Amino acid sequence: MANQFEYKSFTDDNHYIQLCAEVMAIRARAEQPMACIRTYGCQQNVADSEKIKGMLFEMGFGFTDNADEADFILFNTCAVREHAEDRVFGNVGALKNIKRRHPSVIIGLCGCMMEQKHVTDRLYRSFPFVNLVFGTHSLHHFPELFYNAVTYGKRVYETGIDDKTVYEGIPTRRDGQFKGWLPIMYGCNNFCTYCIVPYTRGRERSRRFEDVVREARTMIESGYKEITLLGQNVNSYGKNLEENVTFAQLLSEIDKIDGDYILRFMTSHPKDCSKELIDVIAGSRHISTHLHLPFQSGSNRVLKAMNRSYTREKYLDIINYAKEKIPGVSLTSDIIVGFPGETYEEFCETLSLIREVEFTSLFTFIYSPREGTPAAKMPDPYTHEEKSKWFSELLRVQEEIAAKRCASMVGQTVRVLVEGKTDKDGILTSRTSGNIIVDFPGDEALVGSFVNVKITKARNWILNGELADQ
Ligand code: 5AD
Ligand code: SF4
């Protein structure tokens, strides 16, 4: 089978970067043009923002968190839940004053929300001071769009899904010095009935095997200590590729690269999570002993209505296999409370599942209807108040489980990556392979390196420790 998608090189048409650099050198309010990029939502958005920053950097931009001193303000938006959308509209409204003070500022919006017509219609109607709007499929086009927005003085809108092409070679400016995201695929084919992502990011496209491995090698060689492979459903990596490769094979190929680093990945989908993958983790040198495997609901009826394509039993089967093969495996999950029509009894099946698995931590969400998804049309008889009560019950149960899990680690010596300083003087913060935070006293010079730490105390889901023999 040939690759189903076309692979193109960004460097073939990036002369707009030079043009933007020339025009911004003249237009900038200070010596150097400044950009303020605010990112909402998931890691995929963070990774996209890092590419936009890469292109802006090549145009000569510096970066600031202060929107008032920026020549370009960009919000990279998320459409997964209503709350995130409301925040974006509120924050865009607030930019009007900045535009009044500094009329030359270019205001842009991009990301998943921009792939929803009702959103772009509202923006066009109600926020005329927004100069540039582009969707998730226009990243490679950003320099040209930006140039047009700056020079034509008209609003530039480019949205719409082109999920036939994968662009390689877009410059990236990573936020982290030693922790980095590495997208391995884009889009999603699963159409879970509550989820907007397949509509905003299009069909699933895997990057080529050798391109991913090469980027991982470059990151490791340039000092990255933690690499997280990203995709909406990493377990189906490779399905559109000519070569017959699986995600497990990709992980195991990267794991062969020598160096002092940890390899993470997210997000896994239980329907495609193979035992082969668990075996690769169990036998690896660098892969974290952490599996983020969202189950969303513990009820088979609800799972079916969500179109998740697995059952509670199949989920537990893979979890039990992971527990057996990866000693001390740390499990996390995403959960939706109050999917349309979910009853309290069905919600209790979610509770019983989390008790059975004993997750390290959970990302929990109250169902949020998304226009255009099948679930948004389903009868939803329970009130938000009722769902909020269930939600609080879930948090209480998980708190107990996390506390017990963390307490069981006291006395152990674990290897951690030191991530930075805490607010407290002389206390560093770090993360175990299982993705659990450990704070301990130590010298700032340790930031960015791996050390052994003995766990002395558990504080709910955070651990305290002290440096152990190295
Ligand atoms: N409502 C609530 N939570 C959602 N998620 C995705 N769509 C919705 C929605 N409409 C959650 C899922 C997913 C995580 C990234 O966000 O749990 O795994
Ligand atoms: Fe959304 Fe489901 Fe795809 Fe995850 S797997 S992005 S929840 S459709």
Sheet containing strand 262-266, edge to edge, reads 179-183, 226-230, 262-266
List the residue whose alpha carbon is closest to atom 2 of ligand 2.
192
pLDDT at residue 153, as a whole number: 81
Q: Is the CB of 57 under 6 A from ligand 1?
A: no
Could you list the pLDDT tens digit for every one of the 470 residues in the chain? 566 788 988 876 679 999 999 999 999 999 999 999 999 999 999 999 999 999 999 999 999 999 999 999 999 999 999 888 888 999 999 999 999 999 999 999 999 999 999 999 999 999 999 999 999 999 999 999 999 999 988 999 999 877 788 999 999 999 999 999 999 999 999 999 999 999 999 999 999 999 999 999 999 999 999 999 999 999 999 998 988 899 999 999 999 999 999 999 999 999 999 999 999 999 999 999 999 999 999 999 999 999 999 999 999 999 999 999 999 999 999 999 999 999 999 999 999 999 999 999 999 999 999 999 999 999 999 999 999 999 999 999 999 999 999 999 999 999 999 999 999 999 999 999 999 999 999 999 999 999 999 999 998 789 999 999 88
Q: Which of 336, 354, 361, 368 to mutate to test the pocket of ligand 1 (most atoms within 8 A of CB)?
A: 336
Superfamily of domain 413-467: Nucleic acid-binding proteins (2.40.50.140)
pLDDT at residue 2, as a whole number: 60
**Residue written as tokens 């865009």?**
92
- Measured CA to CA in angstroms, residue 3 lies from 165, 209, 237 at distances of 11, 12, 13
Q: What is the distance of C-alpha 409 from the center of its chain?
A: 28
User: What is the CATH architecture assignment of 290-408?
Assistant: 2-Layer Sandwich (3.30)
Q: Is the CB of 292 under 6 A from ligand 1?
A: no
Pocket lined around ligand 2, Cβ cut-off 6 Å? 188, 190-192, 195, 197-198, 232-233, 269
Please provide the CATH number assigned to the domain covering 176-288. 3.30.750.210
Q: Which of 136, 205, 233, 339 to mutate to test the pocket of ligand 2 (most atoms within 8 A of CB)?
A: 233
35 and 50 in contact (C-beta within 8 Å)? Answer: no
pLDDT at residue 306, as a whole number: 98
pLDDT at residue 378, as a whole number: 98
**Which CATH class for the 6-165 domain?**
alpha beta
Q: Is the C-alpha dihedral spanning 96, 98, 100, 104 positive or negative?
A: negative
pTM for the model = 0.95
Helices (H), 183-232: 197-201, 209-221
304/319 Cα distance (integer angstroms): 19
pLDDT at residue 261, as a whole number: 98
116/79 Cα distance (integer angstroms): 8
Per-residue tokens: 356: 């059975």
pLDDT at residue 85, as a whole number: 82
pLDDT at residue 1, as a whole number: 53
Q: Is the CB of 265 under 6 A from ligand 1?
A: no
pLDDT at residue 163, as a whole number: 77
Same topology, domains 6-165 and 176-288? Answer is no
Per-residue tokens: 376: 């948004």
Q: Which of 40, 81, 232, 337 to mutate to test the pocket of ligand 1 (most atoms within 8 A of CB)?
A: 81
55/58 Cα distance (integer angstroms): 5
441/426 Cα distance (integer angstroms): 6
Domain residue ranges of the chain, discontinuous segments joined by + = 6-165, 176-288, 290-408, 413-467
438 and 415 in contact (C-beta within 8 Å)? Answer: no
- Say whether 364 sits in a helix, a strand or coil: strand
470/88 Cα distance (integer angstroms): 46
Q: How far is the CA of 81 from the centre of ligand 1 (A)?
A: 7
